[in-house]
Amino acid sequence: MCGIVGFTGSANAVPKIVKGLKVLEYRGYDSVGLAAQLNGEIKTLKCKGRVDALRDKLEQEHFPATDCAIGHTRWATHGGPSDINAHPHSTDTLALVHNGIIENYRELKAQLLEKGVKFVSETDSEVAAWVITEEYKAQKDPIKAIYSSLKKLSGSYAFEILFKDRPGEIFAVRQGSPLILATGVDGGYIASDMTALLPFTDTFCFLREGALAHVTKDSVQIVKEDGTLEEPVWQKTDMTVEAAEKCGYPHFMLKEIHEQPNAFLKTVSPRIKNGLPDFSGDGVSDDLLRRAKKIYIVACGSAMHAGLCGKYLIEHWAKIPVTVEIASEFRYNDPLIDSDTLMIIVSQSGETADSLAALRYGKEHGAFTMGIINVVGSSIAREADATLYTYAGPEIAVATTKGYCVQVAAFMLIAAKLSALCGTLSENEVRTLCSELCRDVPKAIEETFSLHDEIKEIAKKLYQSENLFYIGRGIDYALGVEGSLKLKEISYIHSEAYAAGELKHGTISLITEGTPVIAVATSARLYDKTVSNIRECSSRGANVLFICYNDAHQPENVADTVLRLPKVGRHAEMLAAMTAMQLIAYEVAVLRGCDIDRPRNLAKSVTVE
């Protein structure tokens, strides 16, 4: 959360900063600002609101051109959204933007107040700015001052810093929050996300943990604490500007829903060799997987919901016990980890703070760790023993869709591979399964798009609701949990998901006349049980939407509305159902007039605990 971008070079930095911040707005959008070096001074402009508000303010004030600037779009942690709390934060010496949290800021602030420092904001970031300022005044050297300051700061941070007396230079350092260095024909760049750099360059380097970068118009270098220099290891990205744009869709979320068939296939097909799952290209040997006697899946939010699907698939096909843990709880639950434990960390960004901490805990206790990650070179990808990269491409909408889809795709392949190694499925059964994944799932998602007009009519029946329930059994319950999250995070309707058989143990007391219930049944094995639970709801007045596989028999009076999924292979219905629920959430949010790509209080990448 929070997006930062910087540029120094031969071109005007201001439009570059604004364009980069606009791309990064999904990382935080309650306030925005920039700081620029101008004639030996640092000029700062910032405001509450979004990047368009900053653009208007720049035009109103006729902000001059400059060749060096840094910018920030904020998701508030310390101090509410306001002009004062917006970044950059300035002292008499420097300006700073920050992504992360300084955990010991109260103690440091008290010390600085005793020295006579006057604070103007409520933020921990301003404290960091003054800590660095005090060190710089004492040491007269920016590298030494920053490294000395880091020894005093506890927490996570990605800083970009302008010093008043160092024109044309940007200093950047990270710990726990991502930063990317880049170089282009017109200068050097720094950003918290590659998408902000795509309009300007395709040459980048992930700044490693604890490293400090010094960027000028002529060079981008990493400087060690002793002053020695380290050249960045440059890479080329295959992301495109078009991938980070709407391409005619009204919202990024709808575009990304429609990108799911291709993303699923790109994640699965390269890992099927001779008809069987093969992870050798990911550095995961069969021997390592055979060691797994138990599996922990650790993640947050939608990634954790993908893990619930993974648990079902692995236990159902490979018969290996799986525990799914919320990353923020994992370390505090005294997990039973040993050398026979496979620990799978799932994170779209690869920078999720809780998941990264859980990964490190697992490694310390002897687990073999595997990341399911979308961002190449991210922190979790680098630190895990092995990484399965998903190939979703940039995901801009805050509410994930294709990111979740490819995580489930990865789990499908892992489950198939483990079942082959364990002998719980025959080689022919695994070949058939892999063939069905490549053939049927993309087709099922594509054909679900043909239900969009039907889904729009369903949304008209739901959008005025303030409470809603999802129910399902087995993997359909796992799907309902994610469907419920999609609805609540973009439409703000209070929604909960329950295992259908659990209703009668308390929750059914909330079912009254007209209560919307979305019931999911993609499993023929559990279909009749689910129908019985639906009857329990409808008999109490619930307004039931029933999402079921295509040729399911429909008992009379079981639901008010039935949405039949495309007729595809046996393993594709689950992602067809998920696509339908994504579209339901989307259309309900459209009817409620919500900001779909940037829901209130949310940001894309949670890099603080």
Instruction: Return the active site residues.
Output: 2, 604
Residues in CB range of 268: below 8 A, 6 or more apart: 409, 412, 413, 437, 438, 441
Instruction: Please give the C-alpha separations between residue 43 and each of 14, 22, 73, 172, in angstroms, as whole numbers.
Output: 12, 20, 17, 19
C-alpha of 396 from chain center: 9
Per DSSP bridges, beta strands 467-472 and 494-499 are: parallel
Q: Cα-atom radius of gyration of the chain, to the nearest Å?
A: 25
CB 236 within 8 A of CB 197: no
Q: H or E segment at 31?
A: strand 31-38
CB 1 within 8 A of CB 98: no
Per DSSP bridges, beta strands 561-564 and 543-548 are: parallel
The tokens describing 350, both together, are 């690869």
* Entry field: residues in the chain: 609
DSSP letter at 204 equals: E
Measured CA to CA, the distance from residue 184 to residue 178 in angstroms comes to 20
How far is the first Cα of the chain from the last one, in angstroms, to the nearest whole number?
11
Q: How many CB atoms lie within 10 A of CB 574?
A: 26
The tokens describing 330, both together, are 């994992």
- Residue matched to tokens 């055979």: 290
Instruction: Please give the C-alpha separations between residue 210 and each of 140, 178, 452, in angstroms, as whole numbers.
Output: 21, 11, 48
DSSP string covering 435-496: HHHHHHHHHHHHHHGGGHHHHHHHHHHHTT-SEEEEEESTHHHHHHHHHHHHHHHHH--EEE
Q: How many CB atoms lie within 10 A of CB 339?
A: 10
| Helix, strand, coil percentages in the chain from 3-state DSSP, rounded to 5 | 40, 25, 35
The tokens describing 188, both together, are 């050097």
